[in-house]
Structure 1
Amino acid sequence: MAIIDVKNVFFKYESDNDHYILKDVSFHVEHGEWLSIIGHNGSGKSTTVRLIDGLLEAESGEIYITGDLLTPENVWEKRHQIGMVFQNPDNQFVGATVEDDVAFGLENQGVTLEEMKARVSQALDLVGMSEFKQREPARLSGGQKQRVAIAGVVALRPKIMILDEATSMLDPEGRLALIETVKRIKDQYGITVISITHDLDEVALSDRVLIMKEGQVESTSRPRDLFGRKDLQLLGLDLPFTQHLKIALKASGFDLPDDYLTEKELQEKLWESTFKM
């Protein structure tokens, strides 16, 4: 069942009469799915998720959220079903402490104090930030700030979480740790996740990937099928680390298959190759 259904959407900014950012974009996101959206800068990725969240309004086409057509009349109701984490978490902080910041959205929704305390505590525990609850958000590291931003979303119990390049400012270790945290939360609560990213190691953890090119959907596929494509660099994308490593190992004489291998699969193949040598 589709929790999000985007149908024939066109969008352009009023100041640009000739250039459409999105041209006849259609796709769906299934309930509980993790969909990654990738593509060149300017391909329309961020515009697409801002339309889904109601921050922008399409010129034409339809967007359905949890079965309802998104309209100016129900946009605020639908936003309560969506939690969004942006590239720079500093722009989202409003509380004097980590605890206050996570509680802010709950206060706006009129959640009782007792329920609020329970949700804040649970959300901070889920992202591993309980010991920092009295810290000032500005004094946290980049990865810690993003964890707090995600905790603020999780506390609201949304049906959908959107990550708009939320890991792009982190180092590789921090990116992986954050994405694994999101995956754990997704699996535990059945949250639907949409992530915009340039990191194909992040894409590997998703269920399905959508490629955008010049304002249109170029293709959708499973990550394994995507990484098997020979034209990733023509799409402005790099190969995942495991693919780079596999190519180097094959050049050194290791007998490895041509299709994509996860880190675990690559490790198993290397063990097999080692015992054969």
Structure 2
Amino acid sequence: MLASVGSAAAGAAARWDPAACSTSGRAPPPQAPRPRRRAAPPPRASRADDSGHPVFSISVNGARLSLGRGASRREVLRGVDLQVQRGSLHMLLGPNGCGKSTLLRVLGGLLPLDGGGVDADGPSGFVFQNPDHQVVMPTVAADVAFGLGRYRLPEAQVASAVERALALVNMSEFMHRATHTLSGGQRQRVAIAGALAEEPRVLLLDELTTFLDVEDQFGVLRAVRDVTRSGARGRGVTAVWVTHRFEELEYADAASYMEGGRIVFTGSPEQLRQRLKAMGATL
């Protein structure tokens, strides 16, 4: 596991790959932490089965949350209940404004609830819509190492973590590539690798395919699916994937549908398709 908090993030990346970080000619990266690097403190483990291993990586019970002030304050989450099996890719679908992204931030501890509770494995890693807002270092290797700069790690350990994370998203051959030469999907996979380098128990993924072409969309989906299946079932990384694209369901192990701040259905991808068709949705 990672050691105690230490030197600046950019410094750690540069120590490991100084040549790559100093010859790009690009403007220095911003010093503020990127969204994907924000990790929630590890809460207690979810409920366990007879062998003592948690069945659910995430359990949400009656979650309520209102946002805004005064007359503009509105209830965004209205008694949300959700269980996500550990080591699964769980998709969260629903129309714009239904509360999907808000729930994702609650799962990671970024927004406190007004009522109800969340019981989740930790820490969690975030990856958001636009990879251009997250991939800021000049080379792939330096970017994946960026978040590790918060820890006092030997160079060999940083290098090993970067290699492992890139292998998980099928990007090993791009390790020394300049990030500005990558496609949108490749950049998004680099962002995912950056989160994975910090060894999260849960990946929280918000509309990752929004800015990608079709080929890149499915490359990212395959990478996330492979990450959740890389460990033994029930023990691997859990991914919660927020999307409004029904065609992405084929990559999910389970799916939930949100509407009006509530989860109105949870089941297998095929069960959700049938439910939506019965409601008259065009898939």
Q: Distance in 2 between matches of 1:15 and 1:166?
A: 30
Match of 1:12 among 52, 63, 66: 66
Helix, strand or coil at the partner of 2:240: strand
Q: Distance in 2 between matches of 1:185 and 1:111?
A: 24
Match of 1:195 among 225, 236, 241: 241
Helix, strand or coil at the partner of 1:228: helix
Decide which moves more: 81-90 or 199-208.
199-208
Amino acid at match of 2:91: S
The structure-2 alpha-carbon separation of the partners of 1:21 and 1:105, relative to structure 1 and needing over 3 Å to count, comes to same
Helix, strand or coil at the partner of 1:181: helix
Match of 1:44 in 2: 99
Q: Give the conservation status (yes or no) of the 8 Å contact 1:163–1:194.
A: yes
Decide which moves more: 107-116 or 28-37.
107-116
The structure-2 alpha-carbon separation of the partners of 1:168 and 1:54, relative to structure 1 and needing over 3 Å to count, comes to same
- Which whole-Å deviations, capped at 9, do the CAs of 1:128-150 have from their partners, x for residues lacking one? 33333333323321111101011
- Which whole-Å deviations, capped at 9, do the CAs of 1:158-180 have from their partners, x for residues lacking one? 11111101112212222112111
- Which whole-Å deviations, capped at 9, do the CAs of 1:32-74 have from their partners, x for residues lacking one? 12211000000000000001112211111111123xxxxxxxx
Greater radius of gyration (CA): 1
Give 5+ residue unaligned stretches, structure 2: 1-54
Q: Distance in 1 between matches of 2:177 and 2:70?
A: 44
Q: Distance in 1 between matches of 2:184 and 2:69?
A: 35
Q: Which has the higher contact order (CA 8 A, sep 6+)?
A: 2
Amino acid at match of 2:168: L
Match of 1:125 in 2: 167
Cα displacement (A) at 1:230: 5.3
Superposed, 1:154-233 pairs within 5 Å as: 154-189=196-231, 190-229=236-275, 231=277
Amino acid at match of 1:41: N
**Could you say what the CA RMSD is over the residues aligned between the two structures, in angstroms?**
1.9
Q: Give the conservation status (yes or no) of the 8 Å contact 2:204–2:239.
A: yes
Give the helix-richer structure, 1 or 2.
1
Superposed, 1:59-208 pairs within 5 Å as: 59-66=114-121, 78=122, 81-189=123-231, 190-208=236-254
Cα displacement (A) at 1:208: 1.0
Q: Give the conservation status (yes or no) of the 8 Å contact 1:232–1:238.
A: no
How many residue pairs end up in the alignment? 224
Q: Percent identity?
A: 36
Q: Give the conservation status (yes or no) of the 8 Å contact 1:162–1:194.
A: yes
Amino acid at match of 1:101: D
